[in-house]
Structure 1
Amino acid sequence: MSKTVLVTMPEQEGSKSVVEKWLKQPGDFVGIHEPIVEISTDKVTIEISSPATGELHKIFKQENADVMPGEELAEILLFGEPTVRTTTDRLSKEYTENIKTATEQKTVEHKLLLSPAVRKLVRKHNLDVSKIDGSGKKGRITHKDVMFYVARNKIQDKQIKSHVEPHESSYPTTTRINSLKSASTTSRFVPHSPMRKQIANHMVNSMLKVAPHVTAIFEVNMSNVIAHRSKNKEAYAKQGVKLTFTSYFATAAAIAVQEVPEVNSRWHDDKLEIFHNCNIGVATAMDKGLIVPVLKDVQNLNLMGVANELHRLIEKARSGKLANEDVQGGTFTITNHGVSGSLIATPIINQPQSAILGIGKMQKRVVVKEINGQDCIQIQPMIYVTLTIDHRAMDGFQANKFLTAFVDVLENWS
């Protein structure tokens, strides 16, 4: 009797997940630990690998289907006695049929030579690898080869369009047609990715269905932090650590949490759960959406420790290598929206947390300071910081107390 093994959705924190893309189809050979399906959450896209070597026998969850932890995704038909000979013979026959032509054989050979990064790029552009010439060792297709092929095709498409429609290159066809009818607007539709839909549902749920949001706004003079960073960033760099302003914000937030523990909490209907560990999520903008890698136990780290861990997580996020554990366990979130030019924002709380800290753009502004009893006008590097809280878990005075402590740490950094 044939032996099978089930592929199930692993346990993970957060909202439900969505099957984004099957990398293998029923009947395909799969090796142990080989990725077979991509799962998208509101935090990260993960690959689920085959737990055994065999044949992908059945798929239980189709693309775009919701999936919960523990649910069955697929079934693998194992290669082993007494079915190994029958299965192997059948696959051998199918393999022989699949390589009848030189083009098909070349496709198989090229696929075997693809690195994971190149394979992902090929899937993204839906390319036939048999048409791509490899410049790597033994004909290996490189990232550069794929990008050259894509760019060449785009140029050819433009040339063809220019030849067929010589008078339409300066404006879209839809615009020309609409201009003949009336002054109507044009548009295009961009399908939502599974991650984008998950983020949208998560935000709507947090803002409109779960937590009453209240936001407090303070200002911070960044002079001392800038001076400290300028003095120490080279020494940090020699140790392979990038000293960013976000490292200071995370360190100061962990200190301020000691003053107002309720900020680092989770609301339950019958109690407030206050965490001893300060696990700070740092919102990071990516092409697919917002990802929030989590700095663990920040209360036990100094500035060097925070900067080192933050640098490691951001690099993993930007290279698409974040694991489940890198985005789970957050108790508080920082979003540095100022890096994209925003002065003030009121972020939405990342459920099931109770608060989120927003950091605005640093800007030189005129401020009034009292020196020796006299008001003096100065130009100082300032930022607006906001704390949005779940009003069920705490009140405005606690938000203000947290921000007072946070500002005090930054303005008196030594």
Structure 2
Amino acid sequence: MGYIDIFVPAEQEGTKAIVRSWLRNVGDRVEENDPLVELETDKVTQEVPAPAAGVIAEILLASDAEAEPGALLGRLKVGDEAAAGATPPAASGDAGAEPGEAGFAPAPASSPAPAAPGDKSMALALSPAVRRAVRTHDIDPATITGTGKAGRITRADVDKAVAERAAAPAPRPAPAPVAAREEAPASAGGVRSIPHDRMRLAIAQNMLNSVTVAPHVTAMFECDFTAIMAHRRKHKAAFAAEGANLTFTAYFIAACVAAMKAAPAINSRWHDDRLDIFDDVNIGIGTALGDKGLVVPVVSKCQELSLLGIAKRLTEMVERARANKLTPADMRGGTFTISNHGVSGSLFATPIIISQPQSAILGIGKTEKRVVVREVDGVDTIQIRSLAYVSLTIDHRVVDGHQTNGWLSAFVETLENWPS
């Protein structure tokens, strides 16, 4: 008989992790790779699996505790004695208790409290923290789609359901008498107070840190997308047959790789004592998750990928992001970021905040047909072209206007001269 430590994963890519909830209690028997703990960062919710089969002996970091990379979460008792002393799930205290309430030693076995009449939360296999959450918010777990392992409902799923319910239109009240409306105070208008979730707070902290430490400067170019639009129309079906959705983002990534050759320092990270310029071009793609914010999955080693390879990797990453199945490894190691803000209608946005400690971020605005003057064989002609504003926001500690404009010139030239 012995003990095995349960650690926070070492790779967190500079993000803070918080213990969202324990999925098992002290005294519970678990098998190797069973999910034990939910950790939440500003980018993703991650499950920590059991490193071996055994019994949970101690919980050292309870719910809401900060979990630094490599920190000790708890201990697992393994061996013959652990197998003999295992208690059935839900026989010990609430593993999702608030800090100070979680058991730090094996709790005595006891029978679980009977479900209250009509308590639907007990009809599903829920962790203690999820059971408490659905009771607190009076929400039926049968109406929640689980995104955890094997469709298990997580605390993040409960929070999403609560937020969606709060955002739904409230029933319209019957009109009040005129006198009552006139006498009502000005503050009586409809107001909904929604507490910030951890992801939104972490994003806010990171954004504030970026604009505080780095002087942001933005350069804006206009780019003609006519060539890549023609190429996409011609090849989209062939790419789909290969399992790849040929989006404009694939072209943007390929053009970024070409532009890095004109200004390598854009593909870098700033540190107080040095600048690290990378050979690998690892590009993060901002992917919106509605009101929950956004995540930034990374397409690694783009310089080694063809357009088809980029499109395949993008298709996989975006699908996993929208299904809430990204892991920290999917968002680690980025050296540059693209924000395609035009998909939601904006022509340009400035500054787009840099993902520290990267040195720059590309913004792509909405594509529009515009009337322009183009010279053909020495004669000015009026043409209709598909144009968009593209911007590069840089950390002015790293590069100056010359490198910034050189990078954008190469990016635009690559897209505008894309072969058919």
What CA distance in whole angstroms lies between the structure 1 residues aligned with 2:261 and 2:68?
36
- The answer for unaligned runs of 5 or more in structure 2 is 93-107, 144-149
Instruction: For residues 273-330 of structure 1, give each alpha carbon's deviation from its aligned partner in whole angstroms, at most 9, with x where no partner exists.
Output: 1100000011101142210000011011111010011101111111111122110010
Q: 2:302 maps to which residue?
A: 298
Task: Give the Å deviation of 1:58.
Answer: 3.0
Q: 1:197 maps to which residue?
A: 201
After superposition, residues 351-362 of structure 1 pair within 5 angstroms as 351-362=356-367
Instruction: For residues 188-235 of structure 1, give each alpha carbon's deviation from its aligned partner in whole angstroms, at most 9, with x where no partner exists.
Output: 221222111111111111111x21111000011111110000000011
What CA distance in whole angstroms lies between the structure 2 residues aligned with 1:199 and 1:142?
26
Contact 1:110–1:141 (CA under 8 A) maintained in structure 2: no
Q: What letter matches 2:24 in structure 1? A: K
Tell me whether 1:239 sits opposite 2:242 in the alignment.
yes
Aligned residues: 381
What CA distance in whole angstroms lies between the structure 1 residues aligned with 2:151 and 2:200?
31
Q: 2:39 maps to which residue?
A: 39
Instruction: For residues 238-276 of structure 1, give each alpha carbon's deviation from its aligned partner in whole angstroms, at most 9, with x where no partner exists.
Output: 111110000000010011111110000111233221100
What CA distance in whole angstroms lies between the structure 1 residues aligned with 2:132 and 2:227?
49
Q: What letter matches 2:359 in structure 1? A: S
What CA distance in whole angstroms lies between the structure 2 residues aligned with 1:338 and 1:238?
27
Select the residue among 392, 401, 404 that pairs with 1:387.
392
What CA distance in whole angstroms lies between the structure 2 residues aligned with 1:27 and 1:128?
29
* Greater share of helix: 1
Q: 1:137 maps to which residue?
A: none
- The answer for unaligned runs of 5 or more in structure 1 is 134-139, 163-167
SS at match of 2:391: strand
What CA distance in whole angstroms lies between the structure 2 residues aligned with 1:53 and 1:179?
68
What CA distance in whole angstroms lies between the structure 2 residues aligned with 1:383 and 1:192?
34
Task: Give the Å deviation of 1:368.
Answer: 1.9
When residues 81 and 90 of structure 1 are mapped into structure 2, their CA distance, relative to the original with a 3 A threshold, is: farther
Tell me whether 1:365 sits opposite 2:370 in the alignment.
yes
Select the residue among 219, 224, 228 that pairs with 2:227.
224
When residues 123 and 394 of structure 1 are mapped into structure 2, their CA distance, relative to the original with a 3 A threshold, is: farther
Q: 1:55 maps to which residue?
A: 55
What CA distance in whole angstroms lies between the structure 1 residues aligned with 2:361 and 2:89?
57
Select the residue among 395, 402, 411 that pairs with 1:397.
402
What CA distance in whole angstroms lies between the structure 2 residues aligned with 1:263 and 1:42?
25
Tell me whether 1:350 sits opposite 2:355 in the alignment.
yes
After superposition, residues 2-81 of structure 1 pair within 5 angstroms as 3-12=2-11, 13-76=13-76, 78-81=77-80
After superposition, residues 8-407 of structure 1 pair within 5 angstroms as 8-12=7-11, 13-76=13-76, 78-88=77-87, 97-98=111-112, 110-111=124-125, 169-170=173-174, 180-184=183-187, 185-208=189-212, 210-287=213-290, 288-346=292-350, 347-407=352-412
What CA distance in whole angstroms lies between the structure 1 residues aligned with 2:264 and 2:216?
18
Q: 1:136 maps to which residue?
A: none
Aligned alpha-carbon RMSD (Å): 3.9
What CA distance in whole angstroms lies between the structure 2 residues aligned with 1:330 and 1:100?
50
Task: Give the Å deviation of 1:367.
Answer: 1.6
SS at match of 2:204: helix
Contact 1:29–1:56 (CA under 8 A) maintained in structure 2: yes
Contact 2:18–2:64 (CA under 8 A) maintained in structure 1: yes
SS at match of 1:320: coil
Instruction: Please give the TM-score of this superposition, normalised by the length of structure 1.
Output: 0.80
Contact 2:32–2:52 (CA under 8 A) maintained in structure 1: yes
What CA distance in whole angstroms lies between the structure 1 residues aligned with 2:183 and 2:173?
17
SS at match of 2:186: coil
Contact 1:336–1:358 (CA under 8 A) maintained in structure 2: yes
The percent of aligned pairs where both chains have the same amino acid is 44
Contact 1:15–1:41 (CA under 8 A) maintained in structure 2: yes
Instruction: For residues 90-121 of structure 1, give each alpha carbon's deviation from its aligned partner in whole angstroms, at most 9, with x where no partner exists.
Output: 998998944989989x988853xx9x9xx999
What CA distance in whole angstroms lies between the structure 1 residues aligned with 2:89 and 2:331?
43
Contact 1:45–1:195 (CA under 8 A) maintained in structure 2: no
